[in-house]
Structure 1
Amino acid sequence: MRLTLLRHAKTEAQHSGQEDWDRMLEPRGQKDAPEMARRLRERKLKPDLVITSPAARALATAQIFMRELHLPATKLQQDERLYLASPKVLKEVIRELGGKAAHLMIVGHNPGLTEFADRISAEREIDNMPTCAIYTVEFDIEDWSELEWDSGVNAELDYPKNCS
């Protein structure tokens, strides 16, 4: 099974009186998200289920990926627990909602997403997932309820300014 973690795209600075929850994507984020989705599509990595934080920036990023990957809206779920979630909460959401999705995508926020990526891989360390970064990793499990720390293999990190 494959897990893809996606950090929301570049976001506008918080305005006076604006809730963090409501921050929108800035123009660079609106450009980076379709490009990163195309990179996934080129690698034929199409999620079976996408679970996103409902914060404006994460939901907008998820919706761009849904459109670019030609995924139906029925494959998108929102879960408020993903908003600024800790690694422990991310693992709980995945184990609870992932089911048997062969390829699960989680759209969320730092620092929890980077910390989760670092703890879930058996092979590599992740110091930082920049905005709109995609971290994909595979697991030898049959249901996401079986997910354990340090069990992911074939981990790959890609991000907008990655030129390799």
Structure 2
Amino acid sequence: MMQLTLIRHAKSSWDDPDLSDFDRPLDRRGLRDAPVMAQLVAGRKQQIDVILSSTAVRAASTAQYFADALDCEIEFFDQLYNADPRRVADLVAAREEDNVAVVAHDPTLSILARHFSPQIPHMPTCAVAWFTWPANSWREALRTPPARVQYDIPRDTA
């Protein structure tokens, strides 16, 4: 069984016009939503073996909330910032772990989520989408439709 969890970074701040896009931190809403969504995932007992995260400040901060709640490791990848969806799929396909999460950005994650489930219209900030396949490898799983899909957004957890 293979499980992929896509997590869009939590809401970021635009308060400091001197910061680059890469360096923007989480804003107040992001600081509220990230731990709530991380606890939601932890409360469902859905295992995540490793989180692959963009190195952008807002993504790394979001990933840390999930890693703390799930007691798992984070690996940071510069290439997840403004990544092509195929590059994300390639990173996942190269993994040995069966339960992988990716914390990254849009439009990449919305494109991937729609690819796996056309019912997911968009990945708003701090959205979490789970995809499960009855497969033995990522290469096999990523070529077929998932058997199970779960999609949650912060607005629906309030």
User: What TM-score, normalized by structure 1, do the two folds share?
Assistant: 0.88
Work out the percentage of aligned pairs sharing the same amino acid: 32
State the match for 2:5 in structure 1: 4
State the match for 1:26 in structure 2: 27
Aligned-pair CA distance for 1:68: 1.8
Please tell me whether the aligned partners of residues 138 and 155 of structure 1 are also in contact (alpha carbons under 8 angstroms): yes
Aligned with residue 114 of structure 1, among 90, 100, 110: 110
Q: Which runs of 5+ in 1 are unaligned?
A: none
The range that moved more, 27-36 or 12-21, is 12-21
Amino acid aligned to 1:31: R
Distance 2:157 2:32 in 1: 16
Distance 1:149 1:125 in 2: 18
Runs of 4+ residues deviating >4 angstroms: none
Aligned-pair CA distance for 1:93: 1.3
Distance 1:20 1:142 in 2: 38
Please tell me whether the aligned partners of residues 4 and 99 of structure 2 are also in contact (alpha carbons under 8 angstroms): yes
SS across alignment from 1:161? helix
Aligned-pair CA distance for 1:140: 2.4
User: What TM-score, normalized by structure 2, do the two folds share?
Assistant: 0.91
1:152 matched to 2:153:
no
Q: Which runs of 5+ in 2 are unaligned?
A: none
Amino acid aligned to 1:5: L
Please tell me whether the aligned partners of residues 4 and 105 of structure 1 are also in contact (alpha carbons under 8 angstroms): yes
The number of equivalent residue pairs is: 157
Question: 1:36-71 CA distances to partner (integer Å, 9 max, x unpaired)?
Answer: 011111110130111000110000000011112233
Aligned with residue 83 of structure 2, among 82, 85, 97: 85
State the match for 2:40 in structure 1: 39
Aligned-pair CA distance for 1:103: 1.1
Please tell me whether the aligned partners of residues 3 and 132 of structure 2 are also in contact (alpha carbons under 8 angstroms): yes
SS across alignment from 1:46? coil
Counterparts of 1:94-109 in structure 2, within 5 Å, are 94-96=92-94, 98-99=95-96, 101-109=97-105
Aligned-pair CA distance for 1:143: 2.3
SS across alignment from 2:42? helix
Please tell me whether the aligned partners of residues 86 and 113 of structure 1 are also in contact (alpha carbons under 8 angstroms): no
Amino acid aligned to 2:91: V
Question: 1:4-42 CA distances to partner (integer Å, 9 max, x unpaired)?
Answer: 000000100163332111010001101111100111111
